[in-house]
Chains A and B, each alone.
Chain A
């Protein structure tokens, strides 16, 4: 009897103690909600791969809900397997390898110039080099189409055509432009990997080689290059994950000639209503994504053997470029010109000229911005008067702000809980799960969410087609950035400041509002800024979620490129870039923080 009484008291007190410290409650809520938003979609999609769905029965036969192997068979072993899966897979691999072959040497070379040589004007060059990060990944594709478009697709003519040159199909569409455009977008990414790696390399390794009498060329070949090997592997794997995750470029440049890679193949299956097949392709993409990133972090761990962090503030010895300097400077300038100035210039001029690219006075026009009948675009109004465009601007801003703020705050709370409960299983689980969306290619994650939210499940309503779903999916997908920054900030802060407030008698609510959140403000800004920029450029994640009522700027661009309305597409791209830059400047001004540091990954 006494024993039972004791047990009851214990249970009561344990509950009371738990309520006293809301950290536990928050942790439980976060774990449950995130498990639902991260694991459940993937689970539901995996179920879709072997059960007959409402729209599937024509493929699989059988009744809705039956278990079937038909979708796996269709993807892996049927007449259409090569169209749906094998060809896209091989092409994805091919594109990734070709992109790496271009982007890695280019990025590495530029990193070497910037870090190790006395190239003039390094400072502004290296900040320009980060500009492609701010531009959507598929900007180049839009620009490419604007320049090289031929009559194969309808709509307005390409720039070259207005000068009387009709580009052949291989130049206008398919593998070649996709590879070039992806490479142009991704080389700054290789650049930042290499320049970080070069900067952190212990200068003494080089100096000791110099002391034993090694000439500079030998040092580069025998010391620096081998030490760069891990960064190279890492760059390749991450470029591969980027190619798998990117939808816009292959869609814009590949669809016309049926050059599909995995993300576009998934989209095609989705559009033709094959839920089961979509799910199988998505699961494959997720597996590949998980494999690549695990391989990368495995290599990263293995790199501990290569730890070469130098003494703090060690000064780089700069290689003089000597008489070859003008040659190298022009090389860098050409790269910047091709990857930044020409695209931006093309975007701007194409929206201001009737015959695209022809810069004569009578050819200039503002009709694409403010006109009410546009040449060869029936029923469209100029950008600034076009209800579709304006509506998409509002939708984009709304969703980006909502998703960014949501993931920023959740990120902070995850950081808070993870640090406070660092030893508990749930704390570790929370940390893991908040990073998981990073492993899942965007378009596959969207597919997974559609499969979960297509119908009402218990208390959760069917959200497909709503703005809410777009916001939720974005917030979850960007959570890895936000929670990483939250965890890092909390780690640095530690528990002490909050505990000191607790000692002073501050209840939990006061500790959060007066101590934790104000101290974390800086990292909160970063945790909001990065998701905002990403959300404004997001295409892969939202293309399947967008419905006529929830069109975003990025999906609007795709509609216009579909119709061949390049001027309108370009105008919207410009508006995106401008909005991002304005937002970034305003936030940096307001907070004095470099919000885009850490944009690298």
Chain B
């Protein structure tokens, strides 16, 4: 099969003045697992709907391999029912007048799959998603989590080459969610289809995807594999959005004296630098002498808060009047008010210009 290409897509809803999706360009290789990540209202669902044809872009081109699904110039348009994509709705959209079994078999009937085969495929998907025993019930007799899995089953039973999932796990409890995540990942490895996964849970995106596309206000902010996204955020928005606890950052104007101790490490950026960012886990507090290298940046600091989370410690620090959070994994027994030494590897400083674009390497 073939990859998907979105080129310069724009969409403004009738009656609205803001662009729901703006100059959106994305290439999705076949077989990848892409997450669309972004805050509520940033255009994730709209992007998915344009991919499926439920919504028509104002301009741009959508291609599946060398087949054109949409072309804003010539107004070519392949209708939804002929695109053969699967979409799991944010609202599930189960058919209330059909039993679970009928819900799942409807798509197979539409594709004219022979009767004998339908039964087998339903059985398989039911055991795969662990929804046995619900076949004869109606959607309103199921819990939210069960409905969500039926919605998944209804699409997955069709074996679509491209499966679009709109926050499919948002209604499950934490444990089931973890299990379903693993299940999705396994299914993806097995079926080798292309999955586009919408979420605003960054953990989910980080753990599941081969690539993440972060959106904000209809615009693509960055498209990269998860670790690269984390280590080399394209801009302040992405840096802020990904990571928990979030990245520390301060503008050079606010922390002038502190910036003066850092910026000499980056002479070539002195002109453009505007904001300095630092991931919580790259702050070392009173490190062993072996960990702290010669060229590392060192400063004194004062402990403000100590928040144990169970596996880690989130330490609130004040370094020269600027507040930071550090994330420590080893046990520690600091108390608020303690004076400590912080050490940072210079390559962990993230430096952004006035527009918020990252300029450090």
| A interface residues, Cβ below 8 angstroms from B | 6, 9-10, 13-14, 16-17, 20-21, 423-424, 494, 496-497, 499-507, 510, 514-515, 518-519, 521
Tell me the smallest distance from the CB of B82 to a CB of chain A, in Å. Answer: 8
Note all chain A residues with C-beta closer than 8 A to B80. Answer: 499, 502-503
* Complex contact A497–B96 (CB within 8 A): yes
Asked whether B154 is an interface residue with its Cβ less than 8 Å from the other chain, the reply is: yes
- How long is the Cα–Cα vector from A497 to B89 in the complex, in angstroms? 9
* Complex contact B93–A499 (CB within 8 A): yes
20 A-B contact pairs sorted by A residue (CB < 8 Å) = A13-B74, A20-B77, A20-B79, A423-B15, A497-B93, A497-B96, A499-B93, A500-B87, A501-B95, A501-B106, A503-B54, A503-B86, A503-B107, A503-B155, A504-B81, A504-B154, A505-B111, A506-B107, A510-B110, A514-B106
* Complex contact B93–A502 (CB within 8 A): no
* Complex contact B97–A518 (CB within 8 A): yes
Question: In chain B between 59 and 86, which residues have their CB closer than 8 angstroms to a CB of chain A?
Answer: 73-77, 79-82, 84-86
* Complex contact B74–A515 (CB within 8 A): no
10 closest residue pairs by CB, A with B: A504-B107, A496-B93, A423-B14, A13-B75, A500-B93, A505-B110, A502-B80, A506-B110, A10-B75, A518-B97
Tell me the smallest distance from the CB of B156 to a CB of chain A, in Å. Answer: 12
- How long is the Cα–Cα vector from A9 to B155 in the complex, in angstroms? 34
10 new A-B pairs (CB below 8 Å) besides A499-B54, A499-B93, A505-B158? Answer: A9-B75, A13-B77, A14-B75, A17-B75, A424-B14, A494-B91, A497-B94, A504-B106, A505-B84, A505-B110
Note all chain B residues with C-beta closer than 8 A to A502. Answer: 54, 80-81
* Complex contact B54–A519 (CB within 8 A): no
The DSSP consensus for interface residues of chain B is loop
Tell me whether A10 and B52 are in contact in the complex, defined as CB-CB below 8 angstroms, given that A21-B79, A500-B93 are known contacts. Answer: no
- How long is the Cα–Cα vector from A514 to B75 in the complex, in angstroms? 30
Asked whether B266 is an interface residue with its Cβ less than 8 Å from the other chain, the reply is: no
- Chain B residue at smallest Cβ distance from A515: B95
* Complex contact A506–B79 (CB within 8 A): no
- How long is the Cα–Cα vector from A515 to B96 in the complex, in angstroms? 9
- Chain B residue at smallest Cβ distance from A507: B81
Note all chain A residues with C-beta closer than 8 A to B77. Answer: 13, 16-17, 20
Note all chain B residues with C-beta closer than 8 A to A9. Answer: 74-75
* Complex contact B14–A10 (CB within 8 A): no
- How long is the Cα–Cα vector from A505 to B106 in the complex, in angstroms? 9
- How long is the Cα–Cα vector from A500 to B84 in the complex, in angstroms? 12
Tell me the smallest distance from the CB of A364 to a CB of chain B, in Å. Answer: 53
Note all chain A residues with C-beta closer than 8 A to B296. Answer: none
Note all chain A residues with C-beta closer than 8 A to B94. Answer: 497, 500
Note all chain B residues with C-beta closer than 8 A to A13. Answer: 74-77
- Chain B residue at smallest Cβ distance from A505: B110
Tell me whether A519 and B97 are in contact in the complex, defined as CB-CB below 8 angstroms, given that A6-B73, A504-B154 are known contacts. Answer: yes
Asked whether B13 is an interface residue with its Cβ less than 8 Å from the other chain, the reply is: yes
Contact of A503 among B85, B96, B97 (CB under 8 A): B85
- How long is the Cα–Cα vector from A521 to B96 in the complex, in angstroms? 12
* Complex contact B52–A503 (CB within 8 A): yes
- How long is the Cα–Cα vector from A16 to B87 in the complex, in angstroms? 24
Contact of A519 among B87, B91, B96, B158 (CB under 8 A): B96
Tell me the smallest distance from the CB of B122 to a CB of chain A, in Å. Answer: 14
- How long is the Cα–Cα vector from A496 to B49 in the complex, in angstroms? 11
- The number of chain B residues touching the other chain, given as a range, is 20 to 34
Tell me the smallest distance from the CB of A223 to a CB of chain B, in Å. Answer: 40
Note all chain B residues with C-beta closer than 8 A to A14. Answer: 75
- How long is the Cα–Cα vector from A433 to B243 in the complex, in angstroms? 54
- How long is the Cα–Cα vector from A313 to B93 in the complex, in angstroms? 28
Tell me the smallest distance from the CB of A284 to a CB of chain B, in Å. Answer: 37
Tell me the smallest distance from the CB of B48 to a CB of chain A, in Å. Answer: 11
- Chain A residue at smallest Cβ distance from B71: A13
* Complex contact A505–B81 (CB within 8 A): yes
Tell me the smallest distance from the CB of A427 to a CB of chain B, in Å. Answer: 10
* Complex contact B76–A497 (CB within 8 A): no
Note all chain A residues with C-beta closer than 8 A to B82. Answer: 505
Question: In chain B between 225 and 279, which residues have their CB closer than 8 angstroms to a CB of chain A?
Answer: none
- Chain B residue at smallest Cβ distance from A499: B54
- Chain B residue at smallest Cβ distance from A501: B106
Note all chain B residues with C-beta closer than 8 A to A506. Answer: 81, 106-107, 110
- How long is the Cα–Cα vector from A499 to B164 in the complex, in angstroms? 14
Tell me whether A504 and B158 are in contact in the complex, defined as CB-CB below 8 angstroms, given that A21-B79, A496-B89, A519-B95 are known contacts. Answer: yes
Note all chain A residues with C-beta closer than 8 A to B13. Answer: 423
- How long is the Cα–Cα vector from A13 to B74 in the complex, in angstroms? 7
- How long is the Cα–Cα vector from A497 to B81 in the complex, in angstroms? 14
Note all chain A residues with C-beta closer than 8 A to B158. Answer: 504-505
Note all chain A residues with C-beta closer than 8 A to B85. Answer: 503
Note all chain A residues with C-beta closer than 8 A to B15. Answer: 423
- How long is the Cα–Cα vector from A503 to B54 in the complex, in angstroms? 9
Which of B14, B80, B84, B89 has the most CB atoms of chain A within a 10 A radius of its CB? B80
- How long is the Cα–Cα vector from A506 to B107 in the complex, in angstroms? 7
Contact with A along B153-165 (1 / 0, CB 8 A): 0110010000000
- Chain A residue at smallest Cβ distance from B103: A500
Tell me the smallest distance from the CB of B70 to a CB of chain A, in Å. Answer: 10
- How long is the Cα–Cα vector from A598 to B81 in the complex, in angstroms? 38
Question: In chain B between 12 and 58, which residues have their CB closer than 8 angstroms to a CB of chain A?
Answer: 13-15, 52, 54
Note all chain B residues with C-beta closer than 8 A to A499. Answer: 54, 80, 89, 93
* Complex contact A500–B89 (CB within 8 A): yes
Tell me the smallest distance from the CB of A23 to a CB of chain B, in Å. Answer: 12
Note all chain A residues with C-beta closer than 8 A to B154. Answer: 500, 504
Which of A20, A423, A521 has the most CB atoms of chain B within a 10 A radius of its CB? A20
- Chain A residue at smallest Cβ distance from B85: A503
Tell me the smallest distance from the CB of B79 to a CB of chain A, in Å. Answer: 5
Note all chain B residues with C-beta closer than 8 A to A510. Answer: 110
Note all chain B residues with C-beta closer than 8 A to A10. Answer: 73-75
Tell me the smallest distance from the CB of B17 to a CB of chain A, in Å. Answer: 13
- Chain A residue at smallest Cβ distance from B79: A20
Tell me the smallest distance from the CB of A112 to a CB of chain B, in Å. Answer: 37
Tell me the smallest distance from the CB of B93 to a CB of chain A, in Å. Answer: 3
Question: In chain B between 107 and 127, which residues have their CB closer than 8 angstroms to a CB of chain A?
Answer: 107, 110-111
Note all chain A residues with C-beta closer than 8 A to B93. Answer: 494, 496-497, 499-500
Tell me the smallest distance from the CB of A516 to a CB of chain B, in Å. Answer: 10
* Complex contact A500–B75 (CB within 8 A): no
Tell me the smallest distance from the CB of A520 to a CB of chain B, in Å. Answer: 10
Note all chain A residues with C-beta closer than 8 A to B79. Answer: 17, 20-21
* Complex contact A497–B95 (CB within 8 A): yes
- Chain A residue at smallest Cβ distance from B55: A499
- How long is the Cα–Cα vector from A494 to B92 in the complex, in angstroms? 12
Note all chain B residues with C-beta closer than 8 A to A423. Answer: 13-15
- Chain B residue at smallest Cβ distance from A517: B97
- How long is the Cα–Cα vector from A481 to B91 in the complex, in angstroms? 29
- Chain A residue at smallest Cβ distance from B108: A504
- Chain A residue at smallest Cβ distance from B97: A518
- How long is the Cα–Cα vector from A507 to B81 in the complex, in angstroms? 7
Question: In chain B between 137 and 167, which residues have their CB closer than 8 angstroms to a CB of chain A?
Answer: 154-155, 158
Note all chain A residues with C-beta closer than 8 A to B97. Answer: 518-519, 521
Note all chain B residues with C-beta closer than 8 A to A515. Answer: 95
- Chain B residue at smallest Cβ distance from A424: B14
- How long is the Cα–Cα vector from A519 to B54 in the complex, in angstroms? 21
- How long is the Cα–Cα vector from A506 to B93 in the complex, in angstroms? 15
- How long is the Cα–Cα vector from A514 to B97 in the complex, in angstroms? 10
Tell me the smallest distance from the CB of B108 to a CB of chain A, in Å. Answer: 8
Note all chain B residues with C-beta closer than 8 A to A16. Answer: 77
Tell me the smallest distance from the CB of B151 to a CB of chain A, in Å. Answer: 8
- How long is the Cα–Cα vector from A496 to B107 in the complex, in angstroms? 15
- How long is the Cα–Cα vector from A506 to B111 in the complex, in angstroms? 8
Which of B75, B91, B107 has the most CB atoms of chain A within a 10 A radius of its CB? B75
Tell me the smallest distance from the CB of B72 to a CB of chain A, in Å. Answer: 10
Note all chain B residues with C-beta closer than 8 A to A494. Answer: 91, 93
Tell me the smallest distance from the CB of B159 to a CB of chain A, in Å. Answer: 12
* Complex contact B95–A504 (CB within 8 A): no
* Complex contact B73–A496 (CB within 8 A): no
- How long is the Cα–Cα vector from A494 to B90 in the complex, in angstroms? 13
- How long is the Cα–Cα vector from A209 to B106 in the complex, in angstroms? 57
